[in-house]
Structure formats: structure tokens, C-alpha cells
Amino acid sequence: MRAILSPDVEQLILDRVRTGEYGSADEVVRRGLALLEKTEKNPQNVATTDTSDLSAVFERISSDVPDVDWQKVPVDLSTNLDHYLYGAQKTS
């Protein structure tokens, strides 16, 4: 089977191969198809554009993060965001 790709899609595939993340264009396409199949089997994992209940969206996303990673988040992150992002002096 042969497929005609838009220049943007073709460039995206070539970029992934150039980074060494994938060994060939076929690998990139297979990975994309595997993700498509996964989202079709589990539609609750598909991102939604409905942000009417932002807390529910955050809860769904954050539930995928392991507890060990949440424990690494500094407790003063909200107060010292500039410190953690840009190296500014801590405010507290």
C-alpha cells in the first residue's frame, strides 16, 4: 500500500527519524497507528475540548501521574513559581 502525505506530515515523519527516535518512516507510521488504535479502544483517554469542568479535566490528567512523581513537586511551587522556572530568588 502506498499513501500520499501532505508536506507537513511528511516533514513531521522525517524529523522524527532524523532525531533517532525512530529508525524509519515505517516505525513512525506504525507508532501513530498504534496510538490511534489505543484511543479508539479507550475513548475516555482522548483529550477533550470541553473545559466546562476544568477541575474534572485536571483530575483525569493528573490521575495518570504516579504518586512518586507528585511527591517530587515542591510544596511552595505556587508561591515560588518564578524561582523554579527562571531561577529568581525565593519569596518565602
Q: Do 55 and 81 fall within a single domain?
A: yes
**Radius of gyration of the chain from its Cα atoms, rounded to whole angstroms:** 20
Contacts of 45 (CB under 8 A, 6+ apart): 38, 39
Q: Do 66 and 42 fall within a single domain?
A: no
Q: Do 60 and 42 fall within a single domain?
A: no
16 within 8 A of 29, measured Cβ to Cβ: no
pTM for the whole thing? Answer: 0.45
d(CA 83, CA 21) in angstroms, rounded, equals 32
Q: Do 22 and 57 fall within a single domain?
A: no
Q: Do 42 and 53 fall within a single domain?
A: no
Domain extent, residue 6, equals 1-46
pLDDT in tens, the chain (92 residues): 888 999 999 999 999 999 998 999 999 999 999 999 988 887 765 555 566 678 888 888 888 888 899 899 999 999 999 999 999 999 87
Q: Do 59 and 72 fall within a single domain?
A: yes
Q: Do 38 and 68 fall within a single domain?
A: no
The total domain count for the chain is: 2
Q: Do 41 and 70 fall within a single domain?
A: no
Q: What share of the chain is helix, strand, coil (3-state, %, to 5)?
A: 55, 0, 45
